[in-house]
């Protein structure tokens, strides 16, 4: 049922949720995306990490270094200490140094602006590349994280095993006019209402279109 009502679902969610640029959000307030390079690093560091911890790590890092050259100049243990609030900080220290080296050596110091090139950077996967394409490079791509993946499967819009499959399908079937902001509506609904453990079905504005067997009212 949800699949054929996809446009209605987008219309309802677009009424329900503001887009990020209209909200008082911590990323903008802390300048985490004030340059393409900072956006890239912030998104890369945000994997598996709550926003508050990403903000703490990024604030510490950007006080000292805001360019690939400045990050490479940091000692590894100094960088690790700055980004310690984020998950997998040891691995991300290595990835971040390598990513900076790639940007300098392979992209003349500029953040690349195609999905393929972004995904060639160390530590940058499909979701991060889609976020960068959508928010920084004018692309209209729906990034799929665990919230979006869960929501779309519960609704019955996709039947997939992983976020990558979900991203392929939802980007295929979403009409162009919804693509720019679909990620923002879906991630807010998935994170706030269609929660992993206890979805708040009684508050769900798209309840009538949901195919989830265990939905509650």
Cite the active site residues. Answer: 127, 145
Among 20, 107, 137, 207, binds ligand SF4 (CB under 6 A): 207
Annotate 161-192 with DSSP letters as a single string.
Answer: SSHHHHHHHHHHHS-HHHHHHHHHHHHHHHHH
Contact status: 20 vs ligand SF4 (CB under 6 A): no
Contact status: 187 vs ligand SF4 (CB under 6 A): no
Angle at alpha carbon of residue 143, lines to 141 and 19, rounded to 5°? 80
Tokens matching residue 16: 């329900």
Give every CB contact of residue 106 below 8 A, 6+ residues apart in sequence: 120
Decide whether 52 or 195 has the Cβ nearer to ligand SF4: 195
In angstroms, the Cα distances linking 20 to 14, 185, 189, 203 are 12, 9, 13, 21
Give every CB contact of residue 212 below 8 A, 6+ residues apart in sequence: 154, 155, 156, 199
Per CB under 6 A, the segment of 5-13, 76-84, 176-184, 207-215 that binds ligand SF4 is 207-215
Minimum Å gap between C-beta 204 and ligand SF4 is 3
Minimum Å gap between C-beta 174 and ligand SF4 is 17
- Tell me the Cα Rg of the chain: 18
Contact status: 17 vs ligand SF4 (CB under 6 A): no
Nearest Cα to Cα of residue 167 among 152, 156, 180: 152
Among 85, 112, 123, 199, binds ligand SF4 (CB under 6 A): 199
Minimum Å gap between C-beta 49 and ligand SF4 is 24
DSSP class of residue 125? -
Minimum Å gap between C-beta 157 and ligand SF4 is 10
Among 56, 95, 154, 183, binds ligand SF4 (CB under 6 A): 154
CB atoms within 10 A of CB 81: 14
Contact status: 215 vs ligand SF4 (CB under 6 A): yes
Among 144, 155, 182, 186, binds ligand SF4 (CB under 6 A): 155
Decide whether 135 or 212 has the Cβ nearer to ligand SF4: 212
Contact status: 201 vs ligand SF4 (CB under 6 A): yes
Residue ranges binding ligand SF4 (CB under 6 A): 151, 154-155, 193-194, 199-201, 204, 206-207, 210, 212, 215
């Amino acid at each position: 049922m949800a699949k054929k009502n996809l446009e209605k679902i987008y219309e309802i969610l677009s009424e329900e949720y503001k887009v990020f640029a209209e909200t008082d959000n911590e990323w903008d307030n802390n300048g985490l995306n004030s340059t393409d390079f900072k956006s890239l690093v912030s998104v890369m560091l945000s994997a598996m990490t709550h926003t508050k911890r990403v903000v703490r790590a990024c604030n510490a890092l950007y006080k000292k270094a805001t360019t690939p050259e400045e990050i490479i100049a940091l000692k590894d243990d100094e960088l690790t200490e700055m980004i310690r609030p984020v998950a997998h900080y040891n691995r991300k220290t290595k990835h971040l140094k390598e990513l900076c080296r790639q940007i300098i050596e392979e992209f003349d110091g500029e953040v690349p602006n195609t999905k393929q090139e972004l995904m060639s950077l160390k530590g940058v996967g499909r979701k991060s590349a889609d976020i960068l394409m959508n928010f920084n490079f004018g692309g209209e791509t729906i990034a799929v994280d665990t919230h979006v993946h869960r929501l779309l499967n519960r609704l019955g819009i996709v039947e997939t095993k992983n976020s990558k499959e979900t991203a392929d399908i939802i980007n295929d079937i979403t009409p162009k006019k919804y693509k720019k902001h679909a990620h923002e509506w879906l991630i807010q609904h998935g994170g706030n209402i269609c929660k992993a453990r206890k979805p708040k079905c009684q508050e769900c504005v798209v309840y009538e279109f949901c195919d989830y067997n265990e939905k509650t009212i």
